[in-house]
């Protein structure tokens, strides 16, 4: 695309030369459209719980507060929606901070076995409630990765939490790791859940992408979890991928530098 044309004389030339400046706007346009889409998504995601909170409070003020049972139900709904807003805002802050490149990570050697066990403590209750079995498989003892502790906790927390969310009752989740090559560790989170159609798999790590919006919302998702996970993994010089079969289950594979 021609952005500017100047007619200054070129050095050593008697008459004015013509300098045409060419820029490829395709990438800029793509980024601008991604930015617009992101702003529209954020606005929509913030508006939905806020509208609910507004509607419940208005109804309470107009008289529903006099009925103790209705007020209790409405107050609980308001709390749920406020919690949703809180999670969304925390995820947005997290994403913005990682994406800006300004977040300082403290990269240290982390031994996976004790670390994964700590992460599982947070998830145990939810898994038990759904009768989901959590299995840890360590191929070799003492395997370490190089990562930031808080970041790795977020990565594992998100992947295991998703595995539990998208696996029906009585399912099984396996967390396993092994040396991949001399420099990397391969870590997998495998579930026996609903699975993801192939056509959706490439978009999973996009901000706000959800296979089933209603289901994700119902389960308390923000649609930002995997995007945060991918950015974190990349910040630690790792990679992430997914394989999945509808109705059989999903495996997220993370490769991180070995510690
Ligand atoms: P959410 O907050 O909606 O869970 P994520 O970014 O964590 O957002 O995940 C994006 C989408 O990927 C989810 O809405 C869901 O459709 C799909 N997904 C993620 N993990 C799994 C999984 N283990 N099994 C099936 N689908 C999954």
Q: What's the pLDDT at 6?
A: 53
Q: Please give the helix or strand (H or E) that residue 95 lies within, else none.
A: helix 68-99
Residue 7 scores a pLDDT above 60: no
Residue 192 CB–ligand 1 contact under 6 Å? no
Residue nearest to atom 18 of ligand 1 (CA): 162
**β-pair type (184-191, 172-181):** antiparallel
CB of 167 within 8 A of CB of 191?
yes
Residue 160 CB–ligand 1 contact under 6 Å? no
Residue 250 CB–ligand 1 contact under 6 Å? yes
Q: Please give the helix or strand (H or E) that residue 3 lies within, else none.
A: strand 2-6
Residue 17 scores a pLDDT above 70: no
- Compare 164 and 27 and report the one with higher pLDDT: 164
Beta strand ranges found along 81-171 (DSSP E) = 107-111, 133-138, 144-148
Handedness of CA 192, 196, 202, 205 (dihedral sign): negative
Instruction: Please give the number of the atom of ligand 1 that sits closest to the Cα of 193.
Output: 24
Residue range 126-149: average pLDDT?
95
Radius of gyration of the chain (CA): 24
Q: What's the pLDDT at 214?
A: 83
Q: What's the pLDDT at 8?
A: 60
Residue 49 scores a pLDDT above 50: yes
Q: How many residues comprise the chain? A: 259
CB of 159 within 8 A of CB of 198?
no
Residue 249 CB–ligand 1 contact under 6 Å? no
The model's pTM? 0.84
pLDDT digit string, tens, across residues 147-181: 999 999 999 999 999 999 999 999 999 999 999 88
Residue nearest to atom 19 of ligand 1 (CA): 162
Residue nearest to atom 7 of ligand 1 (CA): 225
Pick from 3-12, 32-41, 64-73, 166-175: least confident:
3-12
* Ligand 1: centre distance to CA 69 (Å): 35
pLDDT band for 99, please (50, 70, 90 cuts): confident
The answer for residues whose C-beta is within 8 angstroms of residue 201's C-beta and 6 or more apart is 242, 244
Model ipTM value: 0.98
pLDDT digit string, tens, across residues 183-239: 999 999 999 999 999 999 999 999 999 999 888 878 878 899 999 999 999 999 999
Burial 133-165, CB ≥16 within 10 A → b, else e: ebeeeeeeeebbbbbbeebbbbbbbbbbbbbbb
Residue 2 scores a pLDDT above 50: no
Average pLDDT, the chain: 91
* Ligand 1: centre distance to CA 50 (Å): 23
Q: What's the pLDDT at 5?
A: 52
Residue 242 CB–ligand 1 contact under 6 Å? no
């Amino acid at each position: 695309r021609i952005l500017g044309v100047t007619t200054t004389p070129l050095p050593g030339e008697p008459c004015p030369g013509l300098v045409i400046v060419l820029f490829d706007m395709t990438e800029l346009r793509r980024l601008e459209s991604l930015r617009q889409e992101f702003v529209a998504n954020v606005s929509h995601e913030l508006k939905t719980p806020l509208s609910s909170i507004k509607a419940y409070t208005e109804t309470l003020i107009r008289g529903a507060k006099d009925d103790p049972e209705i007020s209790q139900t409405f107050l609980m709904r308001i709390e749920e929606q406020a919690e949703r807003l809180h999670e969304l805002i925390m995820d947005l802050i997290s994403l913005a901070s990682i994406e800006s490149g300004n977040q300082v990570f403290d990269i240290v050697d982390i031994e996976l076995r004790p670390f994964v066990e700590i992460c599982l403590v947070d998830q145990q209750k939810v898994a038990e409630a759904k009768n989901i079995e959590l299995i840890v498989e360590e191929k070799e003892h003492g395997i370490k990765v190089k990562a930031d502790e808080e970041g790795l906790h977020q990565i594992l927390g998100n992947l295991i939490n998703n595995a539990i969310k998208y696996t029906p009752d009585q399912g099984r989740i396996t967390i396993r790791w092994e040396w991949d090559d001399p420099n990397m560790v391969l870590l997998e989170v495998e579930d026996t859940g609903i699975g993801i159609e192939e056509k959706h798999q490439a978009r999973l790590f996009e901000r706000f992408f959800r296979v089933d919006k209603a289901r994700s919302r119902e389960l308390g998702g923000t649609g930002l979890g995997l995007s945060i996970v991918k950015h974190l993994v990349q910040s630690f010089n790792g990679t992430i991928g997914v394989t999945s079969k509808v109705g059989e289950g999903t495996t997220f594979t993370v490769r991180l530098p070995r510690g």
